[in-house]
Amino acid sequence: MPGHFEPLPGGGAAVALDDVEISIIRSLAVQLLELIGPGPAEDAPDDPLAELFAEGPSEPPADPVLRRLFPDAYSDPEGASGPQQADEQKAHSAEFRRFTENDLRAGKRDNALAVVRSLDALASEAAVGGGAVLKLAPGESRQWLGALNDLRLAIGARLEITDEDDTDVLYGLPDEDPRKPMVMAYLWLGGLQETLVTTLMP
């Protein structure tokens, strides 16, 4: 079980983590929460109808990590379409973003919070023995999967990874390269994500 998720009888997943691994994942999840931003104010009126029709931003985020987490729904990366089609795609993306980004942010925030809370519950156990086994119910596994994906997208954006060829280059970075710790985290999280996906398969 060390270093990878394994399925639990009856559903869910488990992984052995030491105190350093717990600290790394928790720190990354907290940074992700800070990047995504806070949810609705605590003192906001509890009006589900108003919440349903609340509009989000129409412009893509300036931060490249947030642009990776919240990409345009309609885009033409190859630039194959003409100016008119490009303008239409931009307008469609803005409209789609206005009505979906708030919910997407809330979902990503919930996933990251679930990771932090489950690791906090595990931390005291790990402090005693130097490590502990994290056990996740099926619903928690899906939240972890979403958060791990978001963490990898965020780190990948910082490392300017756009395809598998970029990843191959990063494997060969010398130890003194300042990006090396981030690359190691990216690869490690990828292994966790891959094994967690396997536990969720029927």
Whether residue 118 contacts residue 6, with contact meaning beta carbons closer than 8 Å, is answered with: no
DSSP state letters, 164-180: HHHHHHHHT--TTSTTH
Q: Which helix (H) or strand (E) is 97 found in, with range?
A: helix 83-129
Looking at every residue in the chain, the average pLDDT score rounds to: 84
For residue 188, the model assigns a pLDDT of 93
Residue 146 or 101, more confident:
146
**Is pLDDT at 79 greater than 60 in this prediction?**
no
- The residue-averaged pLDDT of 122-131 equals 74
Backbone angles phi, psi at 10, to 5 degrees: 85, 0
Q: Is 13 helix (H, G, I), strand (E, B) or coil?
A: strand
pLDDT tens per residue across span 167-182: 777 778 888 989 899 9
Using CA atoms, how far apart are residues 147 and 140, in angstroms rounded to an integer? 10
**What are 88-121's pLDDT values in tens digits?**
777 777 777 777 888 899 999 999 999 999 999 9
Q: Which residue has the higher pLDDT, 118 or 3?
A: 118
Q: What is the pLDDT of residue 1?
A: 41
